A and B are shown apart, each in its own frame.
Chain A
């Protein structure tokens, strides 16, 4: 008994000490987003051990980091949230001594609104939220969210919607004619609510893990991310990905070093590491999203280079929209609509 006590105490202390030891990096990222190969290669090159912890929404990540005492070094939030992080002083600027390859960032991703000149962040991956449809079931136009919100007869009861409040609300707002995902136009929001409530009986599920459900034909349409869509299409040729003409969310997730990181130097090394095209390509190969690093295409899997889910058709590029986090009042309305929808 005494021995057990001693052993567990020692183990307890050791584990506490380990987290602070050198050669460690704590990464806080979306679930299923971090290529194991990327981590392995980084550890091989630097000897730094990386732990990866998952979060499931931007809000969760922000809430946890802001409380402090979290132990993370790097976080990977979406573009819409970056200004909040920066304003609240949660990031530290990239260290130019270590992060020397900022020039690798593709020009269109360098001067982004949320982080002019990339002072704090480095692109992780970017993509779109659109519509996946099984074209053997529905032959109509798929470049519209109407497929989901006003579903045609053959798709009713065969639809899945990702349970992401902000993505679904954005698509719905654009679909009824809103241009700003945080609009305070009550008429637009009322139309959104009514449309969603009417559409919901035709939805089969609001679920995430459905790549193989689409592939197997269990689901025939849905709101989905382009990368996941591509994974499904690679298993089943009938699947296609649509970009709603009325507007669809564009997003980019970005890595940043936290102001209270315990291993800032290791973190900066990691930031520079993912700026290398061959490493950024690993991120893309794993999650099937583009990454925003010049020259990484050369290292990507063959299937990614001209995939319709990655290369947006010219006439639809303009419909893609970056968002911003909504004010408390608007988010509150979104949450109420969302709760009503899921009641």
Chain B
């Protein structure tokens, strides 16, 4: 027993340097954010060390600008929350719809070719996010590549407005997060037992039935992992809405940044950051629960 405890100690010692860095530069500061959300905004930014729940109040509610006694839901914030969640869900769906066939395509290549296709999927992921966002921008601007081509070939007379729309933000996010969906899907398909698919056909199931009743349940874990991996960075997106959305419509990340900059309201910004964190953690927990339950059903 003593010997075992000693070996645990070793394991902990080996992990200590990594944990130290992580606690100091990643996890620990999150608690400070929580603390700051209960302070009073300082003049011209920063905080005063006085307890206040005003920051949290302002996350969801608002006193009418012109009639301070009238309290109502903070419509602007709620709209921004909803837009962030909705755009993130749409991004996840787009990634799933395009990512599933792509992962399937890769998984059904001859084994020695698969690695190459996988490699091709990951390359964009390893290139700078900002560079990729700029690349999208160059493509969809009014005088960008797509519009110029369409106009030169006479298909359209005036450029299609793509920049500064929700479409642009969606396209950008789906573009940058796509590999995060394809990779776990591929991992799930790689383990897929094709004899089950074959059995489905042997029982005269149509392609759609095999897809729906055999393949999809089997790769569900891949879907779940991929959806989490896409949804989380989408909800936190800051660069993509800023560059492609043209700042016309904010997402949660931009709203947080505004409070720490021109808004000069750090406690509100901190409270909003905690809200974002809560959305992320809730998503994770919901997904994991669902995954466990579904996993049980599949086995039955």
Contacts and interface: CB of A to CB of B under 8 A. Distances in A.
- A–B touch (CB < 8 A): the answer is yes
Given A59-B45, A204-B161, A218-B143, A163 B65 contact: no
Contact of A63 (B45, B141, B161, B255): B45
A343 B250 contact: yes
A60 B46 CA distance: 10
Nearest to B263: A335
A336 B67 CA distance: 13
B159 A335 contact: no
Contacts of A59: 44-45, 261-264
Interface in B70-88: 75-77, 79-80
Nearest to B268: A335
A339 B43 contact: no
B76 A205 contact: no
Interface in A147-175: 157, 160, 163-166
B90 interface: no
Contact of A66 (B46, B163, B260, B265): B46
Instruction: Among A62, A163, A165, A212, find the residue whose CB has the most chain B CB atoms closer than 10 A.
Output: A163
Instruction: Among A163, A206, A343, find the residue whose CB has the most chain B CB atoms closer than 10 A.
Output: A343
Given A205-B246, A328-B43, A56 B65 contact: no
A6 interface: no
B249 interface: yes
Contact of B265 (A84, A160, A163, A335): A335
Given A204-B161, A205-B164, A56 B261 contact: yes
Nearest to B164: A205
Contact of A325 (B44, B159, B247, B255): B44
Interface string A213-233: 100101000000000000000
Interface in B1-24: none
Given A63-B45, A63-B46, A206-B247, A57 B161 contact: no
Instruction: Among B41, B45, B246, find the residue whose CB has the most chain A CB atoms closer than 10 A.
Output: B246
A255 to B, nearest CB: 20
A56 B77 CA distance: 23
Given A163-B247, A218-B143, A342-B250, A328 B41 contact: yes
A67 interface: yes
Interface string A179-219: 00000001001100100000000011111000011001010
Contacts of A62: 44-45
B142 interface: yes
A333 B164 CA distance: 26
A337 interface: yes
A343 B75 CA distance: 8
Interface residues of A, number: 41
Contact of A189 (B66, B142, B143, B264): B66
B246 A207 contact: yes
Interface string B161-177: 10110000000000000
A189 B41 contact: no
Interface of chain B, main secondary structure? loop
Given A59-B264, A218-B142, A331-B264, A193 B65 contact: yes
A204 B164 contact: yes
B248 A342 contact: yes
Instruction: Among B163, B259, B263, find the residue whose CB has the most chain A CB atoms closer than 10 A.
Output: B263
B247 A207 contact: yes
A213 B142 contact: yes
A338 B254 CA distance: 13
A166 B249 CA distance: 18
B65 A337 contact: yes
A206 B262 CA distance: 15
Contacts of A84: 44
Interface in A246-287: none
A100 B187 CA distance: 70
Given A213-B142, A343-B79, A332 B265 contact: yes
B62 interface: yes
B275 interface: no
A340 interface: yes
B258 interface: yes
A186 B76 contact: no
B264 A165 contact: no
A63 B249 CA distance: 25
A163 B250 CA distance: 11
A206 B65 contact: no
Nearest to B78: A343
Contacts of A164: 262
Instruction: Among B46, B79, B164, B248, find the residue whose CB has the most chain A CB atoms closer than 10 A.
Output: B248
Nearest to B79: A343
Contacts of A63: 44-46, 260-261, 264
Contacts of B260: 60, 63
12 contacts: A57-B261, A60-B45, A63-B264, A164-B262, A186-B66, A206-B247, A216-B143, A328-B41, A328-B264, A335-B262, A336-B62, A342-B76
Interface of A: 56-57, 59-60, 62-63, 66-67, 84, 157, 160, 163-166, 186, 189-190, 193, 203-207, 212-213, 216, 218, 325, 328, 331-333, 335-340, 342-343
Given A335-B264, A339-B77, 11 more contacts: A62-B44, A63-B261, A67-B46, A157-B161, A205-B246, A212-B143, A213-B141, A213-B143, A339-B76, A339-B258, A343-B249
